[in-house]
Amino acid sequence: MNPPIDSTVVQSVIDQFNIPDFGNATIREVVAISGQIEKLTGQEFIHMEMGVPGLPAPKVAVEAEIEALKNGVASIYPVIDGLPELKEEASRFIKAFIDIDVLPQGCVPVVGSMQGTFTSFLVCGQCDEKKDTILFIDPGFPVQKMQIGVLGYKSVSFDVYHYRGKKLKNKLEEYLQKGNIAAIIYSNPNNPAWFCLNDEELQIIGGLSMKYDVVVLEDLAYFAMDFRRDLGTPFQPPFQVSVAKYTDYYILLISGSKAFSYAGQRIGVVAISDKLYQRTYPALQARYGIGTFGSVFIHRALYAISSGTSHSAQYALAAVMKAANEGRFHFLDDVKEYARRAKRMKEIFLENNFEIVYDKDLDEKVGDGFYFTIRYPGMAGGELMRELIFYGISAISLATTGSEQEGLRACTSFIKDHQYDLLAERLKIFKENHPLA
């Protein structure tokens, strides 16, 4: 049976992009390819390639930002280290949902978590001239490695798939004992695999960061979105697990995009631990004339990059966090929609001979959420990614996330209600055209 999308058009568009290894195509390239094919054929795609939130923004945030704009904040530069109300509420939010104390001074608004990671990489890589490498616990967000390339820094990585639990310690020490690691980064819940590092693993990471004097960057873009547990009640356990309980030197990256559905305004918070904020590094003193990590982060790096963060958006995030802290806004209720979508999409893929790549979270079944991972028996990830384009389904290869497993990352954010039947129809044709041996 012929694929549902005109093969001649698909091949022509793919050829135009001249990508030598299709499995290494970037998210944006896949978006461009699928978008152009849609335009030329009039056939809609099921877009799973880009992690763009699509749920309505919370009313409390929108109203607060509108009010701020009416009050004239658009004509005034924001304070470089952040709106005082936001800093206070961010500090309370971290206490309410992680049970960690971070002073408001270390809670700094940024232009989304991406700016937070970029600035964190920048400063961490300048603290000690002997430490010039960032360690990625993969799989992870592909653009973060692009940031390392832009900075001209070095990076190393490993796929944690085979090193969960106690095995993580020896694997991490392989890298840390060389003495060149400036920072460790990982996401929790994980993008793309959606597993969650647990307390034992975070204690290992935190303990080793203290032993080898390494900063830990904890990417909480999908804050508390492990829907297997109820993490949404302020100041009551269970809390979002965090390395912050086990090391003095950490940076938490909290995004406004996913858990708060406020992606368009590009707002997030970097939370720098109290001890790291005040720590003096001779290399920073020599470079900038000031030596404390927090001062360099805010008054040199962040100031040079963007001179602050959208003034009105800071009011929006402050209002959301305040409402969440007071129990008036249950921010996880709406985003559980992603878990519902993932469950339905996984069922359709599994019915058509696909398999879940990262299917286990240690001894527990991996949760449903913003992402999941798929493979088709006998097909490499890049091959599967390319083949699905002919069926009007776009995703990215796990190879671009640092994974050593063959397969694809699938995002649930763009799936529309009418597309579940379309997905089932197209995967049924794919299954007929690709019988298992």
Q: What tens digit of pLDDT does each residue of 215-251 get?
A: 999 999 999 999 999 999 999 999 999 999 999 999 9
Residue 134: beta bridge partners? 155, 183
Q: Which helix (H) or strand (E) holds 29?
A: helix 27-41
Q: To 10 degrees, what angle do helices 381-389 and 7-17 make?
A: 130
In this prediction, residue 23 carries a pLDDT of 82
- Beta-carbon count within 10 A of 7 CB: 10
Count of CA atoms in the C-beta half-sphere (13 A) of 319: 18
| Confidence band, pLDDT 50/70/90 cuts, at residue 1 | confident
**Would you say residue 28 has pLDDT above 90?**
no
pLDDT in tens, 360-395: 999 999 999 999 999 999 999 999 999 999 999 999
Contact call for residues 251 and 220 (beta carbons, < 8 A): no
**Would you say residue 140 has pLDDT above 90?**
yes
Calculate mean pLDDT across residues 59-77.
Answer: 97
Calculate mean pLDDT across residues 307-333.
Answer: 97
- Written as one letter, the residue type at 347 is E
pLDDT in tens, 174-198: 999 999 999 999 999 999 999 999 9
In this prediction, residue 291 carries a pLDDT of 85
Q: In this prediction, what percent of the chain has a pLDDT beyond 90?
A: 95
Calculate mean pLDDT across residues 106-123.
Answer: 97
In this prediction, residue 104 carries a pLDDT of 98
Residue 46: beta bridge partners? 393
Calculate mean pLDDT across residues 107-122.
Answer: 97
| Cα angle: 373, vertex 181, 270; to 5 degrees | 65
The count of residues in the chain is: 437
Map residue 226 onto helix, strand or coil. coil
pLDDT in tens, 252-283: 999 999 999 999 999 999 999 999 999 999 99
Query: Residue 191 and residue 132: Cα distance in Å, rounded?
Result: 25
Mean pLDDT of the chain: 96
The predicted model scores a pTM of 0.94
**33 phi, psi to nearest 5 deg:** -65, -50
Residue 403: beta bridge partners? none
CATH of segment(s) 7-43+336-433: 3.90.1150.100
Q: In this prediction, what percent of the chain has a pLDDT beyond 70?
A: 100
| Confidence band, pLDDT 50/70/90 cuts, at residue 21 | confident
| Confidence band, pLDDT 50/70/90 cuts, at residue 53 | confident
CATH of segment(s) 59-325: 3.40.640.10
DSSP state letter for 315: H
Where exactly are the structural domains of the chain?
7-43+336-433, 59-325
Q: Which helix (H) or strand (E) holds 187?
A: strand 181-187
| Confidence band, pLDDT 50/70/90 cuts, at residue 50 | confident
Write the DSSP assignment of 109-160 as a string of letters: EESHHHHHHHHHHHHHTTS-TT--EEEEEES--HHHHHHHHHHT-EEEEEEG
Longest Cα–Cα distance in the chain: 69
Q: Which helix (H) or strand (E) holds 274?
A: helix 274-278
pLDDT in tens, 5-16: 999 999 999 999
Calculate mean pLDDT across residues 31-55.
Answer: 92
